[in-house]
Amino acid sequence: MFSELNSILNTSPESFKQGEFILVSDRQNDASFLIHHFLSFYLRAGCKVCFLGFVQSFSHYSAVSQRLGVSLTQAREKGQLVFLEGLKESLVVLLRGEPEVSKRSPSVDFLRDPGSGLRGLYNFVQSSVRGSEGGGADWGPPVLLVDDLSVLLSLGVSVVDMLDFSHYCRATVCSELQGGMVMLVRCEAEEEEEDSDEDSERLLRGLTHQCSLTLQVQGLPTGYCRDIHGQVEVCWRSRCDGLQNQKKLFQYKVYDKGTSFFARGTSSAVL
């Protein structure tokens, strides 16, 4: 958890805005440090967290979280964290033969039948976020984290199915249960284009229409730099007040145990 980012977003584990859908996107850069931030943030806040990890194994996230001071293994044992290991689950379907029908996990149904959409995955999310309601330890509002949605594009899921999936997750997690949602999307294209028909761009635009806050991680326009790892554009798409589309741009540097954010041109290497 990066306290600097918390102050930028005006939030803290003790009091954060409920029902928020945060979209993290990256372009020519890596935004996974933000996923680690939100994972440790919501675990500290005592939320019931459902994590869909399609990019890395559990031990990877666990190792990074350990550095940020949160133990994923403990959280999983306590039932606070529900972790879907997308890598493992999809490998079972893709490489080895199918287990018996009763043992199949329906969460990766989209790999068995590309036409079926992400309904199975949604059912998995729904059952894990609603699980807290009936008995067991009492956790805070449920949170869904996805790292990252664009992997599903390469697994053959269509943009329409993914937007439906995120819509359902938002309706359940954000609106009904007043929780939170963080999704990561990667874009391959170098430049943002208005009419680009590329799937990842369409996915990003579709999700941007749904979300309430976007964090866009980009490389520096001037090229690689040792002391500044990139820039983040924070954009509030708030609905109620007059400040629609308020934007702020920060540069950042990722350290071993944290990240520092600063205004453009105020890096300690420059000043």
Shortest gap between Cβ of 3 and other proteins (angstroms)? 29
Shortest gap between Cβ of 119 and other proteins (angstroms)? 6
Task: Tell me: does residue 208 bind other proteins (CB under 8 A).
Answer: yes
Task: Tell me: does residue 173 bind other proteins (CB under 8 A).
Answer: no
Shortest gap between Cβ of 160 and other proteins (angstroms)? 5
From the list 135, 221, 223, 242, which residue makes contact with other proteins (rule: CB under 8 A)?
Answer: 242
From the list 10, 66, 244, 266, which residue makes contact with other proteins (rule: CB under 8 A)?
Answer: 244
Our CB check for other proteins shows the closer of 3 and 238 to be 238
Task: Tell me: does residue 209 bind other proteins (CB under 8 A).
Answer: yes
SS3 letters across the chain: CCHHHHHHHCCCCCCCCCCEEEEEEEECCCCHHHHHHHHHHHHHCCEEEEEEECCCCHHHHHHHHHHCCCCHHHHHHHCCEEEEEHHHHHHHHHCCCCCCHHHCCHHHHHHHCHHHCCHHHHHHHHHHHHHHHCCCCCCEEEEEEEECCHHHHHCCCCHHHHHHHHHHHHHHHHHHCCCEEEEEEEECCCCCCCCCCCHHHHHHHHHHHHCCEEEEEECCCCCCCCCCCEEEEEEECCCCCCCCCEEEEEEEEECCCCEEEEECCCCCCCC
From the list 29, 131, 168, 267, which residue makes contact with other proteins (rule: CB under 8 A)?
Answer: 168
Our CB check for other proteins shows the closer of 210 and 267 to be 210
Task: Tell me: does residue 240 bind other proteins (CB under 8 A).
Answer: yes
Task: Tell me: does residue 191 bind other proteins (CB under 8 A).
Answer: no
| Length of the chain in terms of residues written | 271
From the list 4, 85, 89, 176, which residue makes contact with other proteins (rule: CB under 8 A)?
Answer: 176
Shortest gap between Cβ of 186 and other proteins (angstroms)? 17
Per CB under 8 A, residues contacting other proteins are 119, 122-123, 126, 160, 163-164, 167-168, 171-172, 175-176, 194-195, 197, 202, 205-206, 208-210, 237, 239-245
